[in-house]
Amino acid sequence: MFECERCEDKSTILERHKDGDRLERVIFHIDVNSAFLSWEAVYRLYHLGGKLDLRTIPSAVGGNQEKRHGIILAKSIPAKQFHVRTGESIVEAKQKCPELVIVPPNYELYNRSSKAFIDLCREFSNKVEQYSIDEAYVDMTGCMGDPVELAKELNRRCKKELGVAVNVGVSNCKLLAKMGSSSGKKDSVHTLWPEEIEEKLWPLPVEELFFIGNATKRKLNGFGVRTIGELAKLDDRFLYANMKSHGLLIKQYANGLDNSEVITESPANKGYGNSLTTPRDVCDSVVAKQYLLSLAETVSARLRAEGAKIRVVSVSIRDYDLKFCGHQRTLMTPTDLTVEIYAEACRCFDELWNGTPIRHLGIHTSQVTMEETRQISFFDRVDYEKQKKVETAVDILRKRFGQDIVKRACFVSTKEKTCEIDHMSGGISRDKRTVDYSKEEIR
């Protein structure tokens, strides 16, 4: 990414009205176009000496097929012309476009790029909500200047300083701003003010409205509702009778009604979890529990880092046929220890698994508490204070010297046996966190 330049004079952007009058809200929604692919293209062009812009050819960021992560994560506009879709397998995408260039994901790069993007947004307002890695809401209420011109300035600076194109939606609420940014052509500014709803929003297919998934679309289509405008005019009693409160909510959205605030601070976690897709189907409970241990390591490390404890542990399994099942257990006392979370996860697994080959495993926790101390229980199976010191010391070592500095013995390969399981698995796999570009063809 480019080094971020600073405005010579931001007073016209950051200065706000100081009178006590109630101002009409102005909200921006900014969305980086094909974020992963754009960030990858910029990095290769400006940091690795590449000459070919991935955004100008049929290309995509995709996972590792050998590890069953072989799906399209982001695609270029030329790839879209071949009907390549995000979320489909690389095999399917290659069938549509044999010349498709696939590059591996680098989440470490994407996180750095996302931070630079959010930092730039904060130069326009101190009220910024990061909605996802490549999306943000900015509350521009009270900022001096024409909102559309400010949005164009933000768009221009993203291109000049970060090298990426963005869409900016402008409205009086988050919902309409997001709907605005997703409409029209890429790399541009789109307004969707309340007075523009009938012209710009209502003709769109109903499934394009925020909060409407495939099941809701099918139900609405069954009522003869095809457009957002038709939904906006449905009778409240009919909607509630057939869809309960969800029906009333999406009708409000169809009419552009949304009072949600731009949230500058992330809400507290209601649970912690992690999951993984195994490289091959698992039919051995010993191997499955080794995966659970690796997941327990990452989940408990996050708990300790944030000073949190949990009371409920659940295990989820997706089998070779993609069928899902789950089971949970409640602990006597809250914990943040790997050994205790793993022990409960194993009990859940034993009560849940029927021997069907496993494709995906997950550990999830809930009933979070921030209590610093833990009451000693007669039923404790471990010395909590002693074990907490051990696991905290391991956390410190891993943070200072890398997460591989300390491993449990069962994850260490020997001459007799090779361990293929990452001792801290789940979430973004290690091969996606960074890329060895010396092994990549940089064109």
Tell me, yes or no, if 135 is annotated catalytic: yes
- The half-sphere exposure of 213 on its side-chain side, counting CA atoms within 13 A, is 2
Tell me which residue has tokens 């605030």: 261
How many degrees, rounded to 5, is the angle at CA 183 between CA 1 and CA 12? 60
As a dihedral over the C-alpha atoms of residue 101, residue 107, residue 113, residue 118, rounded to 10 degrees, the angle is: 130
Rg (CA), the chain: 25
H helices within 60-173, ranges in order? 77-80, 90-96, 107-121, 147-157
Q: How many residues does the chain have?
A: 443
Cα separation of 255 and 278, whole Å? 45
Cα separation of 281 and 74, whole Å? 27
Cα separation of 431 and 407, whole Å? 18
Handedness of CA 185, 191, 192, 196 (dihedral sign): negative
C-alpha 45 chain-centroid distance: 26
Cα separation of 309 and 388, whole Å? 12
Which of these is catalytic: 40, 88, 129, 135? Answer: 135
Cα separation of 246 and 251, whole Å? 9
Q: For residue 195, with 0-12 CB atoms within 10 Å meaning exposed, 13-18 middle and 19 or more buried, which class applies?
A: exposed
Cα separation of 321 and 314, whole Å? 21
Cα separation of 46 and 190, whole Å? 29
Residue 17, SS3 per DSSP? coil
Cα separation of 236 and 326, whole Å? 37
Task: Give the list of residues 6+ apart from residue 141 with CB closer than 8 angstroms, or none.
Answer: 23, 24, 25, 26, 27
Task: Give the list of residues 6+ apart from residue 312 with CB closer than 8 angstroms, or none.
Answer: 328, 329, 330, 331, 365, 366, 367
Cα separation of 369 and 181, whole Å? 38
A 10 A CB-CB count for 211 gives 11
Active site residues: 135
